[in-house]
Amino acid sequence: MLLKTLKRTVGAALVAALGLGTAAYAEYPEKPITLVIPLGAGGSHDLNARVITSIIPQYLEQAMIVRLSPGAGGQKGTQEVANAAPDGYTLLFSHNYIDMLQQHVENLPYNPNEDFVPVARVNYAPIAVVVRGDSEFNTFQELVDAASANPGSIDMSHSGNWGALFVPAAQIMKETGAAFNLVPFQGGGPAMQALLSGDADVTMGFPSVLGSLLDAGKVKVLATAGEERIYEDVPSFAELGIGGDVGFMHRVVLAPAGTPDDVIAKLTEAFTALQEDKTYNNLMGRLGENTDFIDGEKYQMMRQDQNGAYKDLVESITQ
Q: What is the pLDDT of residue 243?
A: 80
Residue 235 lies in a domain: no
CA dihedral 101, 102, 104, 109 (to 10 degrees): -140
Q: d(Cα 267, Cα 269) in Å, to the nearest integer? A: 5
* Average pLDDT rounded to a whole number, residues 73-99: 97
C-alpha count within 13 angstroms, C-beta hemisphere, residue 312: 6
Indicate whether 139 and 98 sit together in one domain.
no
Q: What is the average pLDDT value for the chain, to the nearest integer?
A: 91
**Ramachandran region, residue 85 (left: φ > 0; alpha: ψ -120 to 50; beta: rest):** beta
Indicate whether 118 and 267 sit together in one domain.
yes
Residue 24 lies in a domain: yes
Indicate whether 8 and 118 sit together in one domain.
yes
Higher pLDDT pick, 116 / 309:
116
Residue 116 lies in a domain: yes
**Closest by CA position to 281, among listed 42, 33, 46, 55:** 55
**Closest by CA position to 130, among listed 190, 42, 204:** 204
Q: Which pTM does this prediction carry? A: 0.82
Indicate whether 111 and 139 sit together in one domain.
no
Indicate whether 110 and 139 sit together in one domain.
no
- Burial class of residue 13, CB neighbours in 10 A (0-12, 13-18, 19+): exposed
Residue-wise pLDDT for 44-68, tens only, equals 999 999 999 999 999 999 999 999 9
Domain CATH for 154: 3.40.190.10
Q: What is the pLDDT of residue 161?
A: 86
Indicate whether 114 and 210 sit together in one domain.
no
DSSP 202: B
SS3 content of the chain, % helix, strand, coil (to 5): 45, 20, 35
Residue-wise pLDDT for 242-276, tens only, equals 987 789 999 999 999 999 999 999 999 999 999 99
The total number of structural domains that make up the chain? 2
Indicate whether 215 and 284 sit together in one domain.
no
Residue 3 has pLDDT above 50, yes or no: no
Helix (H) or strand (E) holding 13, with range, is: helix 2-17
- Domain boundary at 209, 224, 239, which? 224
C-alpha count within 13 angstroms, C-beta hemisphere, residue 261: 3
- Domain boundary at 224, 242, 273, which? 224
- pLDDT bracket for residue 26 (50, 70, 90): low
Give me the domain span that covers residue 171.
Answer: 128-224
Indicate whether 102 and 136 sit together in one domain.
no
Q: What is the pLDDT of residue 191?
A: 95
Indicate whether 93 and 19 sit together in one domain.
yes
